[in-house]
Amino acid sequence: VSVAQDDYWNEFRLIFDKVHESFFANLNRHCPDLTPADVRLLALVKMNLGSADTARLLSVTPDSLRVMRYRVKRKLGLGTADSLQQFIDQLG
């Protein structure tokens, strides 16, 4: 199962919204330019999944996941030393 597929993503998002009600709204307020792929990645980061599980759920290689994380951190205005997990946890 891959959350990169729209059917699974829509189902995942409905359940995720029940647990983390304001996450997507807060994320959109902070950075409205995120792509759907960025949002999927950040939702999985919010769930504290490991890199291997995240890569599998997004149907990407571990190397591609590293690039995705780097690019989304840049979009969010985070430096290379900043923790994406910590940012997401503070976001709500």
Per-residue pLDDT tens for 46-60? 999 999 999 998 989
Average pLDDT over residues 34-55: 93
* Alpha carbon distance 4, 87 (integer Å): 23
Q: Range with the lowest mean pLDDT among 2-11, 25-34, 46-55? A: 2-11
* Alpha carbon distance 27, 66 (integer Å): 20
| pLDDT of 3 | 59
pTM for the model: 0.84
Average pLDDT over residues 61-72: 96
